């Protein structure tokens, strides 16, 4: 049976849940055309702004750092940090020039083209949204998560995205001006992101993008200076658990569909985002580092996984892990467990003894044993070199 990858959000159907996020790889017609032909379900266009200070691209800087925060040269590891300083958004008139060709090509390939706005003046959000709707854009993403807001005097990006009242006012104004679906792209730097979700939902948002990038500071110790010369936005696979935390919390508490973002690079990442609560998944860094060829690779991996696990559609993945999660204030209900040595597999190397901080793992003669002191924390699994030599087992009713 052929896997059904279709996902429908606010009446708009995507042929699959993979989207190119708004970033430099979708800047201009040529770049956008390459990604449309890759097989993506949708593209979020480069953000449009009236702020001249956010439109210059001759100061863009990128640093791809490995797991030790050393610059990558030639080979990019699976776990990397994408450290970037761009903010090179597009002017309304320049963006409009290529729009008809983009929309025509997107329609031919059944790709949803989503407009993105990152304005400064309140009236500009409304004006640009009306322009997009008038010219045939089917959905709009309001980028109140841009981490580069410090480049201009106007209040924009994450400076708005950390203020529930400002978010509600902005989304409400755009909602009153246009009828097409609105996606709100949130910043992870808000003190209480759930309060922001509540505000934009009340204002009429149709969906969320969770999340934009953090602002960080990465140090080049050899040259005693910061990478990219300044503060910059940080993303990449390492940030995935942080993004998934907010996705899962939002999924459990609000009905708004979620576009997952910040951390997806492989097919398994996409599965994680969807199981945490995302209906679709946006990618930026992975596109910039691997090119459009990653889309068929991800779809192939997802298809094999869905068939192996018995899922009939990608949409069935959404939220399964979030629904299974034990609320943090109920962790005392977690089943009690203890680790067990599988003697037929264990090679008696003793590495698990180094991992145990409870004194539960001991050597008796030539045998490794685990005593009653074991908390079942599973840290020893990370040390064990033999798959299947250790496994958790339930030992009683939940504590407390």
CB count in 10 Å sphere of residue 345 = 13
Which residues contact residue 295 at a Cβ distance below 8 angstroms, ignoring those fewer than 6 apart? 18, 38, 39, 40
List b or e across 34-44, with b for residues whose CB sees 16 or more CB atoms inside 10 angstroms.
ebbebbbbbbb
Which residues contact residue 73 at a Cβ distance below 8 angstroms, ignoring those fewer than 6 apart? none
Cβ–Cβ < 8 Å for 371, 362: yes
Record the tokens describing residue 71, joined without a space. 């610059």
Tell me the β-bridge partners of 219: 226
Asked if the peptide bond before residue 254 counts as cis, ω within 30 degrees of 0, the response is no
Taking the CA atoms of 60, 65, 70 and 71 in sequence, report the sign of the dihedral they define. Answer: negative
Indicate left, alpha or beta for 26 from its phi (over 0: left) and psi (-120 to 50: alpha).
Answer: alpha
Query: In Å, how far are 182, 202, 275, 324, 400 from 320, measured between CA atoms?
Result: 25, 26, 5, 6, 27
DSSP 223: T
SS3 328: helix
Tell me the β-bridge partners of 48: 90, 117
Exposed/middle/buried for 263, CB within 10 Å: 0-12, 13-18, 19+?
Answer: buried
**146: annotated active-site residue:** yes
The catalytic position among 45, 72, 146, 377 is 146
Q: Which residue has the tokens 């190397």?
A: 349
Cβ–Cβ < 8 Å for 40, 111: yes
Opening angle at CA 190, ends 280 and 318, nearest 5: 20
Record the tokens describing residue 213, joined without a space. 């990038």
CB count in 10 Å sphere of residue 77 = 12
Q: Which of 340, 344, 350 is nearest to 374 (CA)?
A: 340
Q: Would you name the residues annotated as active-site residues?
A: 146
């Amino acid at each position: 049976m052929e896997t059904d990858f279709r996902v429908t959000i606010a009446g708009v159907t995507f042929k699959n849940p993979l989207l190119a996020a708004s970033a430099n790889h979708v800047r201009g017609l040529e770049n956008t055309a390459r990604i449309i032909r890759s097989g993506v379900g949708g593209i979020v266009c480069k953000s449009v702004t009236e702020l001249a200070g956010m439109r210059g691209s001759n100061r863009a800087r990128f640093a791809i750092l490995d797991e030790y925060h050393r610059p990558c040269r030639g080979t990019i590891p699976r776990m990397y940090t994408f450290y970037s300083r761009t903010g090179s958004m597009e002017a309304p008139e320049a963006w409009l020039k290529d729009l008809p060709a983009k929309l025509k090509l997107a329609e031919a390939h059944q790709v949803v083209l989503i407009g993105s706005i990152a304005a400064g003046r309140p009236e500009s959000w409304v004006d640009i949204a009306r322009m997009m709707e008038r010219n045939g854009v089917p959905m709009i993403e309001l980028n109140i998560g841009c981490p580069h807001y410090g480049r201009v005097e106007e209040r924009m990006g994450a400076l708005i995205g950390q203020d529930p009242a400002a978010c509600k006012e902005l989304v409400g104004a755009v909602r009153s001006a246009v009828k097409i679906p609105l996606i709100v792209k949130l910043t992870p730097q808000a003190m209480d992101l759930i309060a922001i979700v509540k505000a934009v939902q009340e204002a009429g948002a149709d969906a969320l993008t969770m999340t934009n990038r953090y602002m960080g500071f990465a140090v080049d110790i050899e040259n005693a200076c910061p990478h990219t010369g300044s503060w910059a936005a940080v993303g990449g696979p390492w940030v995935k658990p942080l993004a998934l935390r907010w996705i899962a919390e939002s999924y459990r508490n609000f009905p708004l569909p979620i576009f997952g973002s910040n951390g997806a690079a492989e097919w398994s990442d996409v599965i994680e985002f969807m199981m945490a609560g995302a209906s679709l998944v946006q990618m930026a860094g992975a596109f910039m580092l691997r090119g459009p060829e990653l889309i068929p690779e991800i779809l192939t991996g997802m298809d094999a996984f869905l068939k192996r696990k018995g899922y009939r559609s990608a949409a069935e993945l959404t939220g399964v892990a979030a629904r299974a999660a034990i609320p943090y204030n109920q962790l005392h209900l977690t089943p009690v467990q203890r680790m067990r040595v599988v003697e037929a597999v264990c090679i008696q190397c003793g590495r698990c003894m180094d991992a145990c901080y409870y004194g539960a793992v001991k050597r008796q003669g030539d045998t490794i044993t685990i005593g009653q002191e074991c908390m079942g924390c599973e840290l020893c699994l990370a040390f064990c070199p033999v798959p299947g030599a250790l496994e958790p087992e339930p030992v009683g009713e939940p504590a407390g």
